Structure 1
Amino acid sequence: MSDYTSIDDVFPGPVGIVWIKDAAGDEVLRDIGAGPFSEVVAADWGQVQAALWDDEDDEDDDEEREDNEGEPRRAALFAVEGGGAVLIEPMSCVGSDTALLRRLTAPGGQALALSWTVNLHVSVTFAARGDIVATFDPMELFAATGDDPDAVAGWLDSLPVTAAEWHDNGKAAAFAIGERLTGIRVDRAWLARPHRLVIPSAPVEVERPTLFLDMQMRDLAAADPRIAALAAAPGPDKLPEIIRMAVDLALRTTGLEGDLVNEVLELLATGERGDRGAEARERLRSLHVTLRQEAQAAYERAGATGYPVPGHDTEIGRLMLRQEAVETLRHALDPDLEGAASNALSRAASTRLSQKNGDYLRHRTLTAIQYYIVHGENWL
């Protein structure tokens, strides 16, 4: 892992990278829509990046360029060495495409994917034999999931990387695991050598997959009628119910209550998101400020030092969690239902949901359903 501690200097911008073991090169290229394997164009990393903004005149492309002015083309670096392969695409989150990882590994291979965004959100996914073994943010290993949630911890424990190392430098940890998987060291020297330039195709319209829920989620749906109704017919009309359930989770775990909370619940029940909703959102902003001030006062009374930590065990921690519950309510009233569902679920997760009462699993299941509704593909 120490060989990759400066990986941010090598890749200063967003990148999607996939390390693949035991997958034929032509099959990989087929799955990303990059054309026949026989068409080889040599390029190093710098040339791949330049290809994103290639403005060479081409009369046949004039109309397309007018429609997509300022948008970069897709380009990737691809290499096969021994039984391993690496695909690197700048300005891309190819590594978060679980459908692609399932296809790449379905014949019996393995793949480790890493991607990060301009906002520095890092995602790591490992797939084997068509299954997602684990997917996670290195900063939040506790939220790691996979097709078989019970197997995720065992897979993480099998790696020569500790939880602290994932947290301190998740990118470096992923690069080290990728090298271990494929035998390919991706460093400055490797990037400077010619490999293969490929142009992945734009995503093609495919038939919408069936909603996938892992075993624990399916068991929950069988026992919870509200979840069952969502999973049976996941469509945009279910977003208001997902929002209400996200709010229920946040309120249950924090105990937040009061007239304003009751008013918001009424608005969510009636679906009103106009002037009353906007006014309630402003009052929620004020409540958030009040709770923050109360937390600061509690912090000073306790004579605490260091950073306050959200949690259920201290007065300061509980007040911080209630701030997250207020934010859940505020986002729940967003007129944009897709944004409301996504942000309300995200904020509800920050209230430290209980695993004992099943709320943590409810949140994961709601997230999977919401993602499917909005993106048309499976979260897992």
Structure 2
Amino acid sequence: MCITWCRGKSADEVARLFGGEPVDAELKTLDEAFDEASEADKDEDDDEAVRPPVILIGELGEWTVVLEPYGGQGVRPLVLQTLSEGGGRALSFKWTVNLDTIFFYAVNGLRIAGFDLLDPPARPGGDADEIEELVEDLPKSLESGLILAERITGQRLDSAWLSRRHRRMFMVNPIRHARPWLLEAAFGHPMLDSAELRPLVATAPTPDRLPFIIASALDIAMRENAPQDISDDPVVAEAMAALRDRPGAAECERLNGRLTEVAHRFRAQTTDGVRDPLARMDQFSTLNALAAAFIPDLATAAFQTVRAVRQLRWLDVETRLRLSVLAGCVHFIRKSTGAIS
């Protein structure tokens, strides 16, 4: 089940952002909505008979509450971002029978907190300073979602509210984002507004952005907490200098071959009594990324470079997300230019 709170938009606006049509709404209890959602699952063999997902929408103080018996639209980054745009706020949490749980909070179009309800952090991270105290002492249970929602909204979603009839709608037209090159998991993340990524994701990326993508991925691989001693290798030094002004195809092919040889030499050393063989594997991945940057075909070079960097062990969650954004842009460019179908 998924429950979403939104403040700053009318209930009808919220309904439409979830894909519902207010004119088709009927008053139902939560139990009735669950029954209808369950009935929809019984017709899986008949496409025409399958009902769209069910949502139940009601108001609670200044907030609009959306309940999805078997859905999860509310925790989609795009939905949260859109619900909170224009100075609004939106929060949503979801849990499943397998005890998979997630909580998200967005303010003014930016997702500022997200975490597992069964393992709430001491600090929510991101820009969520305003709810840091609210996260304290949360129980590691499903009810923590309702507790935190009440702390943020000042409204209690109690049994009386849940037992009343609210507007039931079907999600006939769920919101779709207009930027297919952008990984939806990154929607609303503050990093998209950074000086580095904003020019890349604001409009559809084109092939002229591929060198930037390669440089961004390599910057991650070569940064302070990545393996450092590979920079002492003369072939690596030559390649790093060549990156500033990408050479022609023949020189790219030569550098790619030499860097591949260096990478395999480092990999062989992982079994030669090296103190930290896993660190050597990180060096191997970094060298693979650098070698990939000189594949003559630029689109393939970008794809393979990002792919190699994503294999590094030390990457934190935000860095992995950043690389996923770069990978999504490369995929979009390759697809839009016919490099892949």
Q: Same fold (TM over 0.5)?
A: yes
CA drift of 1:234 comes to 5.4
Relative distance call for 1:154 and 1:263 in structure 2 (3 A) is: same
Give me the whole-angstrom Cα distance separating, in 2, the residues matched to 1:199 and 1:372: 33
Relative distance call for 1:40 and 1:330 in structure 2 (3 A) is: farther
1:252 to 192, 214, 223: 223
Q: Does 1:97 align with 2:86?
A: no
Give me the whole-angstrom Cα distance separating, in 2, the residues matched to 1:135 and 1:289: 42
> Is this contact kept in 2: 1:34–1:199, CA < 8 A?
yes
Q: Identity over the aligned pairs, expressed in percent?
A: 21
Structure 2 residue aligned with 1:33: 19
Which has the higher Rg, Structure 1 or Structure 2?
A: 2
Relative distance call for 1:96 and 1:29 in structure 2 (3 A) is: same
Relative distance call for 1:341 and 1:328 in structure 2 (3 A) is: same
> Is this contact kept in 1: 2:310–2:323, CA < 8 A?
no
CA drift of 1:48 comes to 1.8
Structure 1 residue aligned with 2:336: none
Relative distance call for 1:208 and 1:194 in structure 2 (3 A) is: same
CA drift of 1:235 comes to 0.8
1:136 to 92, 107, 114: 114
Give me the whole-angstrom Cα distance separating, in 2, the residues matched to 1:175 and 1:289: 53
Q: Deviations over 1:306-350 (max 9, x none)?
A: xxxxxxxxxx6xx65554454466578599788757655655583
Structure 2 residue aligned with 1:51: 40
Q: Does 1:155 align with 2:130?
A: yes
Equivalent residue of 1:136, what SS? strand
Q: Deviations over 1:334-369 (max 9, x none)?
A: 99788757655655583469xxxxxx89x8877666
Q: Does 1:242 align with 2:232?
A: no
Equivalent residue of 1:198, what SS? strand
> Is this contact kept in 2: 1:49–1:75, CA < 8 A?
no
> Is this contact kept in 2: 1:288–1:323, CA < 8 A?
yes
> Is this contact kept in 2: 1:18–1:114, CA < 8 A?
yes
Structure 2 residue aligned with 1:350: 314
> Is this contact kept in 2: 1:114–1:123, CA < 8 A?
yes
Structure 2 residue aligned with 1:127: 106
Structure 2 residue aligned with 1:301: none
> Is this contact kept in 1: 2:205–2:332, CA < 8 A?
no
Relative distance call for 1:24 and 1:216 in structure 2 (3 A) is: closer
Q: Which runs of 5+ in 2 are unaligned?
A: 294-298, 334-341
> Is this contact kept in 1: 2:285–2:311, CA < 8 A?
yes
CA drift of 1:198 comes to 3.1
Q: Which amino acid aligns with 1:48?
A: A
> Is this contact kept in 2: 1:125–1:132, CA < 8 A?
no
Relative distance call for 1:53 and 1:349 in structure 2 (3 A) is: farther
TM (normalized to structure 1)?
Answer: 0.53
Q: Deviations over 1:190-228 (max 9, x none)?
A: 98997654322345667559999998876745xxxxx78
Q: Which amino acid aligns with 1:350?
A: W
Structure 1 residue aligned with 2:172: 201
Q: Deviations over 1:59-115 (max 9, x none)?
A: xx39xxxxxxxxx864133242532413326364541233x2243234654211235
> Is this contact kept in 2: 1:79–1:87, CA < 8 A?
yes
- The structure in which a higher percent of residues are helix is 1
TM (normalized to structure 2)?
Answer: 0.58
Relative distance call for 1:342 and 1:369 in structure 2 (3 A) is: closer
Q: Which amino acid aligns with 2:19?
A: G
CA drift of 1:136 comes to 3.4
Equivalent residue of 2:22, what SS? coil
Give me the whole-angstrom Cα distance separating, in 2, the residues matched to 1:239 and 1:122: 37
Q: Which amino acid aligns with 2:228?
A: G
Equivalent residue of 2:104, what SS? strand
Q: Which runs of 5+ in 1 are unaligned?
A: 1-14, 63-71, 146-151, 222-226, 299-315, 354-359
Give me the whole-angstrom Cα distance separating, in 2, the residues matched to 1:118 and 1:369: 34
CA drift of 1:265 comes to 7.6
> Is this contact kept in 2: 1:246–1:345, CA < 8 A?
yes
2:93 to 110, 114, 117: 114
> Is this contact kept in 1: 2:218–2:305, CA < 8 A?
no
1:367-378 equivalences under 5 Å are: none
Give me the whole-angstrom Cα distance separating, in 1, the residues matched to 2:190 and 2:204: 18
1:182-331 equivalences under 5 Å are: 182-184=155-157, 197-203=168-174, 208=179, 220-221=195-196, 230=200, 235-237=205-207, 238-239=209-210, 241-253=212-224, 254-255=227-228, 257=230, 291=270, 298=275, 320=278, 323-324=281-282, 326-327=284-285
Q: Which amino acid aligns with 2:90?
A: A
> Is this contact kept in 1: 2:91–2:149, CA < 8 A?
yes
Equivalent residue of 2:16, what SS? helix
> Is this contact kept in 2: 1:234–1:373, CA < 8 A?
no
CA drift of 1:29 comes to 1.0
